[in-house]
Amino acid sequence: MKAPRILAVDDDPHARDLLRRLLGTLGEVMQAPHPEGAIERLTEDGPFDLVLTDMAMPNPGDGLRVLQEVKTRLPDTPVIVVTAFGNIEGALDSIQQGAFDYLAKPFDVDAIVRVARRALDQKRLVEENRSLRKQVERSTLVGRSPALLEVYKQVARAATSNVPVLITGETGTGKEMVARSLHKRSPRAAGPFIPVDCGAIAESLMESELFGHSRGAFTGATGARRGLFEEASGGTLFLDEIGDVGLKVQSQLLRVLQEGEIRRVGESAPVKVDVRVVAATNKDLQARVAEGLFREDLLYRLDVVHLRLPPLRERREDVTAMVEHFAALHARGGVRPVVTPEALARLTAYEWPGNVRQLENVVARALALNVTGVLGPQDFPEPIGDAPKKLTGLAEDMPSLAELSRRYAAQVLQHVGGNKSEAARLLGVDRKTLYKLLEAAEPEET
């Protein structure tokens, strides 16, 4: 976790140095000798997690000006105002204008540290609550298509049990969102939800990540460590891209599901764990079983409840609700944006090879570049922004959606200098989907 960044503003260099030494135990302390210097720091070195400012400083401005600038630029950052002893009226003015607290000179060393720590704790809690609200909003299933309504029913039925769940679907269909929804509606909702991207963890590290290790278990293991199964105790462990897990770890996962216990790397004694496992994949696990790449007995253990998420192109009637949901989620300044009917029609007509993830990415980018709050077709790139043009008329020489998607992916790839990871990120898809886009509708050689 990054150390908090603190700005101390005072025209007295001795007072600034004292604040630096006192608050250095709480985070990184930067200084400014006057309001203009504070504003410069906010502009060039911000954001800050806490600001302490003297009230009375030489013109131009004073501590109230610093307070106003911070509240304008960083409304969640607490400001502590330091006043001369007895200047209660000025202190009350600062509180009314949004200061977190005020302190009187000469400094009470213990009081400064105590109030600063309390202010930083409040800032951290505000950020955590915002993050949790975002997670809850993202984990909300949006749509009323028959296919999604069936998913709703299955989630409601499976949430109350403790059996493993296997979620399948194409990349970007919202498998983690469904897993979070399962957890949120389960008796384990008060416990942790820990997602694991199995495809992003090297096979050599997977065992230690999941099950933990003892000190000296392998080179570099300088201390004992709990694995993710133990971290998820009392909650849900979401194993995304389960099809990428190697056979050795598969056998250990099977033991966890059968016995409810794990063995840390380097230890022989079993450790009981109380975890619900939800797994997800975009691969055909039956095919991997036939190829000898996935254990059939593990598949049976995971596939007690099977939730299949349909791709977005199979439930186009949900696109409007999802666009509005993502537009509200990524709105700037609390103003709910408006998406024009023509834009909605074009978004609905698009094939969405990256599914829900790509749709959210496209809406978020459009809002980031739009200052009017009204999203029209021109705010979305081709072929998304002009999908109906390509779907209507049906001229024989009109390119297909697959070809348009390929051209768009190639254009983005060229824009980032051939960096496939960056192109995939901008498109809102993974690298595998990017490859499919680039291969789609390749013109035949003559």
Both structure tokens of 100: 């977190």
Whether 303 and 332 map to the same domain: the answer is no
Residues 364-417 have pLDDT tens digits of 999 888 877 788 998 998 778 655 544 443 334 444 556 666 777 787 787 777
- Helix orientation angle between 13-23 and 109-138, rounded to the nearest 10 degrees: 60
Residues 177 and 272 in one domain: yes
Starting at the edge strand that comes first in sequence, how are the strands of the sheet with 5-9 ordered?
28-32, 5-9, 50-54, 79-84, 101-105
Examine residue 250 and state whether it is found in any structural domain, yes or no.
Answer: yes
Helix (H, G, I), strand (E, B) or coil at 157: helix
- pTM summary value: 0.58
- Percentage of the chain with pLDDT > 70? 86
If asked whether residues 306 and 317 sit together in one domain, one would say no
CA distance 279 to 164: 8
CA dihedral 33, 37, 42, 48 (to 10 degrees): -10
Q: What angle do CA 311, 317, 321 make, to 5 degrees?
A: 95
Quick one: which of 302, 296, 279 has its CA closest to 196? Answer: 279
pLDDT at position 136, please?
A: 46
Token output for 298? 């593990």
Per-residue pLDDT reduced to its tens digit, 36-86: 888 889 888 878 999 999 887 766 567 888 888 898 888 889 999 887 755
Whether residue 218 is found in the same domain as residue 305: yes
- Strand runs (DSSP E) across 106-260, as ranges? 165-168, 193-197, 212-213, 225-226, 236-240
Q: Which residues are bridge partners to 14 per DSSP?
A: none
In a domain, 176, yes or no: yes
Give the pLDDT of residue 175.
94
Q: How many residues does the chain have?
A: 446
330 assigned to some structural domain: yes
Percent of the chain topping pLDDT 90 = 42
**Single residue among 135, 157, 192 that ends a domain in this structure:** 135
Q: What is the CA radius of gyration of the chain?
A: 27
The whole-angstrom separation of Cα 274 and Cα 131 is: 26
Assess whether 284 and 414 both reside in one domain.
no
In angstroms, rounded to a whole number, what is the distance separating the alpha carbons of residues 95 and 67? 10
Whether 167 and 126 share a structural domain: no
- Give how many domains the chain has, as a whole number: 3
Has residue 446 been placed in a domain? no
Query: Measured between alpha carbons, how far is residue 212 from residues 121, 174, 196 in Å?
Result: 30, 29, 14
What tens digit of pLDDT does each residue of 176-185 get?
A: 989 999 999 9
289 and 352 co-located in one domain: no
Q: What is the CATH number of the domain that holds 422?
A: 1.10.8.60
Residues 153 and 279 in one domain: yes
Last residue of a domain, one of 310, 344, 360: 310
Q: What one-letter code names the amino acid at 344? A: L
* Residue 238 structural domain: 140-310
CATH of the domain at 119: 3.40.50.2300
Q: DSSP for 338-381, please give it.
A: EE-HHHHHHHHHS--TTHHHHHHHHHHHHHHH-SSSEE-GGGS-
CA distance 15 to 421: 49
- Which pLDDT value is given to residue 108? 80
Tokens of 190: 């008060």
